[in-house]
Structure 1
Amino acid sequence: MSSSDIEFSSSDYAVQLDLIGRVNGLTAAKNFFSSLRDQDKTVKTYGALLNCYVRVGLIDESLSLMKKMKEMGFLSSPLNYNNLMCLYTHRGQFEKVPDVLLEMKTNGVSPDKFSYKICINSYGARADYDIMEKVLQEMDSQRDIQMDWCTYSLAANYYIKAGLKEKALHYLKECEKKVGNDAEGYDHLISFYARLGNKDDLKRLWDLQKSKCRKQTNKNYIVMLGSLVKLGELEETEKLIDEWELSCKTYDFRVPNVLLIGYCQKDLVEKAEAKLQDIIKRRKIAIPNSWSIVATGYMNKNKMEKAFECFKEALAIQTQNRGWKPKAGLISSILSWLGENGEVEDAEAFVKLLRTKVPVNREMYHALLKAYIRNGKEVEGLLVSMKDDKIDENRDTMKILSLQDQNSEVTG
């Protein structure tokens, strides 16, 4: 666009500045801003530069720019004040947020819905619930602000965290009055009631969601299933999985994964594996996350051979979810078990498969070294490979290698 004959507006330059900051960093954004003509340095381009400062968490620079914008008369809307409040929030300086809201009012700028929400969040984060309620009441009294379910859910969340159930229930009722036919709002309400252990309201809201919203997505089912699991209602979870399977057009393994997690949490990992095997027989290839859940369940029961077998299944189908990131703790446990108990061929095959998903590391080589030494296999070639992979021997490596001498003494 820049190389064509298109005439850029200040809005276009603001968008370009923001994109430069996101892609090339703050220095490039500042250089671009400096290169603009004076007439193009408007409230929008200054605001875009402020966004860049906020994005990288620079408080002093943001305040300095805000001061300059004020002198130029560029602080007539709540947007830039909101950015500064977000910056304080992200830096954990919640106590400074209300001061920005006060400054906004003092300068004759009316806070918008987002301004109040940031301030409510700042008081909730500091457990200052009385002032949080006063801000809520002030927000509700503004003629040009329409209260929504998100605001009430924000307050309810902090009361649930504080264990103030009656207060939480009050705001959940206010939230429900505003939710209308918003499926996401019902998801929040269902999750909140699950945290409060309220099964009846949870089920009531699920029925309401189904009647008010046109269709339940996989995400909606995941929220409801997770809430039932949280309450320990595994039979209800199983029934809901069956209901979902009858209605779903695309089989999303993330949905039954919720049940698999529930089984494993209740020490029913064998049941989780049986359920997964049944789904695979009736459907198609699972995703690696599903096998990883079961593998973790077996690991927690110290059934490492089963954990090993299930995790191999996960690695074998990793292309079904390229974004899958296996848990480091599970990998470490299996590698440790292989080093102490596995056959050399199993350890080698596992590490080879594992290297297709995670970068090679010392832990892999240590597992192989232990397996080699325990089975009387020479380790020189393995040490050369370790060096080729730029992994230096350390104290733990030497300790493992010392086992070779001990084994020689025993066999000698």
Structure 2
Amino acid sequence: MNAAVLTIARRLRRTLQTTLQSQSQFSTSARRYNPRKPERRLQSIIFPVASPSANLVPEIERWIEKGNTVQPYDLQLVIKGLRRLRRFRQALEVSEWMKTKSNLPFRPGDHAVQLDLIGVVHGMSSAEDYFNKLPQEHKTEKAYGALLNCYVRERQVDKALAHMNKMKQLGLAYAPLPYNNIMNLYAATGQHEKVYSVLSQMKEDGVFPDNLSYRICIVSCGARSDVSGMKKLLQEMEQQPQIVMDWNTYTAVANVYLNSGFPTWAVLALEKAEKKMNKSDSVAYNHLISLYARLCDKRQVQRLWELQKNNCKRPINRDYLIMLSALVKLDDIKEAEVLLKQWYSSLNILDFRVPNILFRAYQTSGQLEKAEALLDQFVKEGKKPHSNSWGIVAAGYAAQGEMDKAHAMMKNALCVYMPNLGWTPNHKLVNEILYYLGENGDLKDVETFIELLKVARPMDSDMYYPLIKARIRAGKEVNDLLKGMKDDGVKESEDIKEVLSSAEKRVIGRS
């Protein structure tokens, strides 16, 4: 292993304890930079809390002890933000504190939110129990709708349909939302042929479909390759007086056309989408850029990117992610490299999902030296690439048969590994590296790699194999490893049996 790789590994190990603290789900979320001093509101002390496992209630109570007031709206905003960031357990803790300890009113809408959070965190049984114990005055359409949403999320079709019927009987299904939920349930369970029947039933029940109702049906038509049916739905939607056509619908239509092999029609739909969008809506630009990239229309991609930069606030991480992905899809790596430099010099929080787009492009095109050099640059500048960034490059080297470099990159990935952050080492790739180490690795290298890997995966025969083989190759005893295997409940693999047998024969031969 060369000195440069060792230097990088040592730097990464020194920062292991603090890795990712400043790049947690809160800090890496795509948010806009605001140089002005933030308002002193509750959110300003909640959202900077880095750990997703931290209890936020003490933070709220300290805020109040300092003489600050907390209104229901403040807590509702915090809960909404936590849900958006998928920190459901923390959101539930805040909701429970609001209900039991805050002396603030806890209204039907708050009950509905808490019910939904209970379903996510504790499961359906707990959500049903919460609903059943609600006072009758709080069993509004919101609470019923929240429980329906839980059934839909858990794909419990029979219970969802029975609950929907109960809502109809009670006169609580008077808006599109519950019908849309049932349509989503059918779509999620692959029953696309039933989606349109829900739309028909909605109209029979005197409920006017909204944009989302039609859009779910349009996407469902696409899943069935029913372009003709989709066109009829679109025409019907455009004629409905209560519907204001939006860009989302036309991009959904364009996506169906693209998937069905009608690029010309897709372009016409995108032109309609652009006419309907708010010129300062960055999300709309993101969708259009992605779809034009799929059409391999570089001119439109660049035009829309310039419009986005001119008409919207400064680009955030999400915008760079979309544009980089578009450039990579267009096979314009040089332009992607220029854009990455612009992102790096921007004032956005460092989010390694952005350079990972380029790392994957380097992996696909075989330019792994560029990827490694970029990672080295981040480390030298005191940045901390995530495990998946190193893992991408490791996979690339393994595919090229350069297992020594694959080992070095995966070792770096394991040096900064932290559980529950969305990355786990690829089992097949790691096994390839383990086998390589068993055949060629120095005992110290093998032991170091296994120690790092143990944090991410339990010991198994694939991990014991290189240890045993390296020990035998170094002329050392393996009895403690065999005992460890027995204690861990790991059976000897054929490879291990073969290694032990060969070692025994060598010993007999020498004697």
TM-score (norm 1): 0.91
Matches within 5 A, 1:10-29: 10-29=108-127
**Larger RCO of the pair (alpha carbons < 8 Å, separation 6+):** 2
Matches within 5 A, 1:305-320: 305-318=404-417
Percentage of matched positions with identical amino acids: 46
The one of 261, 268, 290 equivalent to 2:360 is 261
Q: 1:245 to 1:45 in 2, by over 3 A?
A: closer
Residue aligning to 1:92:
190
Query: Is 1:194–1:227's contact at 8 Å kept on the other side of the alignment?
Result: yes
Query: Is 2:227–2:260's contact at 8 Å kept on the other side of the alignment?
Result: no
Deviation at 1:6, TM superposition (A): 6.8
The one of 451, 462, 476 equivalent to 1:377 is 476
Matches within 5 A, 1:262-411: 262-282=361-381, 284-318=383-417, 323-395=422-494, 397-408=496-507
- 1:47 partnered with 2:134: no
Matches within 5 A, 1:33-182: 33-179=131-277, 180-182=279-281
Residue aligning to 1:208:
307
Residue aligning to 2:129:
31
Deviation per residue, 1:16-45 (Å, 9 max, x gap)? 433333333222333333334445443333
Deviation at 1:411, TM superposition (A): 5.5
Alpha-carbon separation, structure 1, partners of 2:135 and 2:433: 61
AA aligned to 2:150 is C
Deviation at 1:335, TM superposition (A): 0.9
Residue aligning to 1:187:
286
Deviation per residue, 1:232-256 (Å, 9 max, x gap)? 2122122222333333454444333
Deviates more, 1:372-381 or 1:212-221: 372-381
AA aligned to 2:225 is A
Q: 1:394 to 1:292 in 2, by over 3 A?
A: closer
AA aligned to 1:372 is R
AA aligned to 2:117 is L
Alpha-carbon separation, structure 2, partners of 1:18 and 1:286: 35
Deviation at 1:216, TM superposition (A): 0.8
RMSD: 2.6
Query: Is 1:172–1:189's contact at 8 Å kept on the other side of the alignment?
Result: yes
Deviation per residue, 1:48-73 (Å, 9 max, x gap)? 33223222212122222222322222
Deviation per residue, 1:81-121 (Å, 9 max, x gap)? 11111111111111111111101101111111111111111
Deviation at 1:348, TM superposition (A): 0.9
Alpha-carbon separation, structure 2, partners of 1:238 and 1:4: 51
- Secondary structure of the residue that 1:392 maps to in structure 2? coil
Alpha-carbon separation, structure 1, partners of 2:146 and 2:189: 20
Alpha-carbon separation, structure 2, partners of 1:58 and 1:323: 27
Deviation at 1:320, TM superposition (A): 12
Alpha-carbon separation, structure 1, partners of 2:100 and 2:418: 40
Deviation at 1:186, TM superposition (A): 1.3
Residue aligning to 1:238:
337
Alpha-carbon separation, structure 1, partners of 2:197 and 2:345: 54
Query: Is 1:17–1:33's contact at 8 Å kept on the other side of the alignment?
Result: yes
Unmatched 5+ stretches in structure 2: 1-98
Query: Is 1:287–1:320's contact at 8 Å kept on the other side of the alignment?
Result: no
- Secondary structure of the residue that 1:109 maps to in structure 2? coil
Q: 1:400 to 1:40 in 2, by over 3 A?
A: same
Query: Is 2:337–2:358's contact at 8 Å kept on the other side of the alignment?
Result: yes
Query: Is 2:316–2:348's contact at 8 Å kept on the other side of the alignment?
Result: no
Alpha-carbon separation, structure 2, partners of 1:155 and 1:190: 15
Query: Is 1:288–1:320's contact at 8 Å kept on the other side of the alignment?
Result: no
Alpha-carbon separation, structure 2, partners of 1:68 and 1:44: 14
Alpha-carbon separation, structure 2, partners of 1:128 and 1:43: 34
The one of 293, 310, 328 equivalent to 1:229 is 328
- Secondary structure of the residue that 1:318 maps to in structure 2? coil
Alpha-carbon separation, structure 2, partners of 1:88 and 1:188: 25
TM-score (norm 2): 0.74
- Secondary structure of the residue that 1:350 maps to in structure 2? helix
Q: 1:165 to 1:385 in 2, by over 3 A?
A: same
Residue aligning to 1:198:
297
Deviates more, 1:395-404 or 1:170-179: 395-404
Aligned length: 412
Deviation at 1:144, TM superposition (A): 2.2
Alpha-carbon separation, structure 2, partners of 1:19 and 1:361: 37
Q: 1:42 to 1:241 in 2, by over 3 A?
A: closer
Deviation per residue, 1:201-234 (Å, 9 max, x gap)? 1111111111111211122122212221222212
Alpha-carbon separation, structure 2, partners of 1:321 and 1:100: 39
Deviation at 1:136, TM superposition (A): 1.6
